Structure 1
Amino acid sequence: FNIFMCVFFITLAFAFADPYFFIGYLVSIAIFGLYQAIFMANAGGAWDNAKKIVEVDMHEKGTELHAATVVGDTVGDPFKDTSSVALNPVIKFTTLFGLLAVELAVSISKEQTALDFHTSTGISLNLVIALVLFLIASFFVHRSFYGMRIGEKA
């Protein structure tokens, strides 16, 4: 839940910061997400198949090599079955909500220009919204990575 909220609020913050910046963010999410998914699927398949080769083709079940491939299989199965596949909805989700937020940010910017808000206050409403959204995302990052630490016993 924390990671989902973090991605959600960071996407919205980038959308409100600058539309052109957000376009770069979307392109990078699409490209790096695609290559990360391909890498995870291929690496997971390789680790999964390594155990099968050691067991079936090499007939070395019960050896240290087999123990190492069992560890690789343990990591490889989630890579190919869940992690790589889960990146597709993240990319789609980021694109959908980000494009909706950019449309809202552009319309706020146009209204702000029409009302002369920016020149009277010296700040942009979009940047204030982006900062608030980024702070909310930072809260969820903190909650996710630092809030779940295992405490040390004295």
Structure 2
Amino acid sequence: VDSYGPVADNAQSIFELSQIEGIEGVHESIEKEFGFKPDFERAKYYLESNDSAGNTFKATAKPVLIGTAVTGATTMIFSIILLLEKVGALHISLTDAPVILGLICGGAVVFWFSGASMQAVTTGAYRAVEFIRRTFNFAKKEADMDDSISVVKICTQYAQKGMWNIFIALISLTLAFAFGDPNFFVAYLISIAVFGLFQAIYMANAGGSWDNAKKVVEVDLKEKNTPLHEASIVGDTVGDPFKDTTSVSLNPIIKFSTLFGLLATEMSIQMKYVETTDISLYIAIPFLILGLCFVWRSFYRMRIPTV
């Protein structure tokens, strides 16, 4: 199910990039070789309709993937709970301030990640457009391989910058909280799993809806190059990072948080309840500061410059 969407999307892109309609004598060549007269307008209609179906397929498959992440996270969270209960360190109550704060922080991390990942996508797209405007020769009738490589390079650089900011921030915060209050940390992990599940489902469905709205305008209403079409394109620029970036990326975010949390919890228990010297607080504070620095970087170092 998840493979159908990219295949349909790429089929349409390949058709458009091939510019087969403009090739001289292509109708006669296809009829001679394959025995039928090509109807490129009809082919374009079917490809765009198929792309719309692919978006629906992707939106259907992604919640299943995020569901598997939450299932795995639930198992690891229960492992952490059992570890902490074994040493008598866990006393969860919804009236306790650390538990409430942990639930709030877990949800905040999910929404921070959503914004930071979309910020990286937006900035990378802006840089690519600026590069195209500055360097491309629009008089060319065919795509240039060197130009394409340059655009891919720019997009890759900003994807990697955003990835490092988010990854370091997430791991640092998880380690900081794991070495802190255990009740806060368990509530934090539960909140990430719950908020992440519903956020991912919402973003996958909303992104697919925005993308398909543009297809409805283009294919069914045949309103290309109209104000309605322009509005649908704006929606699609929001929908693409929703469904293709943030929703699927919440899967590893949930898994990494619980996995590193489980490992850090074992180390924290060793320091607090086995060894004579407890240095967990001295580990938690630097990681917390480091995480907050990269949270700041994920937005303010990825901003689009105002010139």
Q: TM-score range by the shorter chain?
A: 0.7 to 0.9
**Within the alignment, does 1:129 sit opposite 2:292 as a pair?**
no
Q: Distance in 2 between matches of 1:108 and 1:15?
A: 12
Aligned to 1:59: 222
Tell me if the contact between 1:37 and 1:85 (Cα under 8 Å) persists in the aligned partners. yes
Name structure 1 gaps, 5 residues minimum.
Answer: 118-123
Counterpart in the other structure of 1:140: 294
Contact 1:29 1:91 in 2 (8 A): yes
1:99 aligned to 2:262?
A: yes
Q: Deviations over 1:28-50 (max 9, x none)?
A: 00001111111110110110010
Pick closer, same or farther for the CA change 1:152–1:69 going to 2, 3 Å.
Answer: closer
| 1:41–1:21 CA distance, 2 compared to 1 (3 A) | same
Q: State the distance in 2 between where 1:150 and 1:57 align.
A: 35
The AA in structure 1 aligned to 2:291 is A
Q: CA RMSD in A?
A: 2.0
Rounded to whole Å, the distance in 2 between the matches of 1:47 and 1:132 is 42
1:24-39 map, 5 Å: 24-39=187-202
Structure 1 residues 151 and 75: alpha-carbon distance in aligned structure 2, compared to 1, 3 A threshold: closer
User: CA separation of 1:29/1:110 partners in 2, compared to 1, >3 Å: closer, same or farther?
Assistant: same
Displacement of 1:105: 0.4
User: TM-score normalised to the size of structure 1?
Assistant: 0.83
* Deviation readout 1:72-105 (Å, 9 max, x if unpaired): 1222122212221111011101110011101110
What letter is aligned with 1:95? T
Residue 72 of structure 1: SS of its match in structure 2? helix
* Deviation digits for residues 105-136 of structure 1 (CA, Å, limit 9, x no counterpart): 01110124xx2x4xxxxxx5222221121112
Structure label with greater radius of gyration: 2
What is the letter of the counterpart of residue 289 of structure 2?
L
Identity of aligned residues (%): 60
Q: TM-score, normalised by structure 2?
A: 0.44
Question: Following the alignment from structure 1 to structure 2, what is the Cα–Cα distance between the partners of residues 101 and 71?
Answer: 43
Distance 1:36 1:72 in 2: 18
For the pair 1:71 / 2:211, whether they are aligned, the reply is no
Moved more, 34-43 or 50-59: 50-59
Q: 1:10 aligns with which of 173, 185, 204?
A: 173
Distance 1:81 1:147, change over 3 A: closer
Cα distance change on mapping 1:93 and 1:53 into 2, 3 Å? same
Aligned residue in 2 for 1:121: none
Q: What is aligned with 2:147?
A: none
* CA drift at 1:59: 2.3
Q: 8 Å contact 1:13–1:134 — kept in the other structure?
A: yes
Task: Measure the CA separation in 1 of the matches of 2:293 and 2:245.
Answer: 27
Q: Distance in 1 between matches of 2:291 and 2:222?
A: 51
1:147 shift after superposition: 4.1
Indicate if the aligned counterparts of 1:19 and 1:106 stay in contact, CA closer than 8 A. no
What secondary structure is seen at the aligned counterpart in 2 of 1:106?
helix
Tell me the CA shift for residue 152 of structure 1. 7.3
After superposition, the C-alpha distances for 1:34-73 in whole angstroms (9 at most, x for unaligned) are 1111111011011001011112222222210111001112
The structure, 1 or 2, with the larger RCO (C-alpha pairs under 8 Å, 6+ apart) is 1
- Note the residue ranges of structure 2 that are not aligned, 5 or more in a row: 1-163
Choose which of 44, 69, 81 in structure 1 pairs with 2:244. Answer: 81
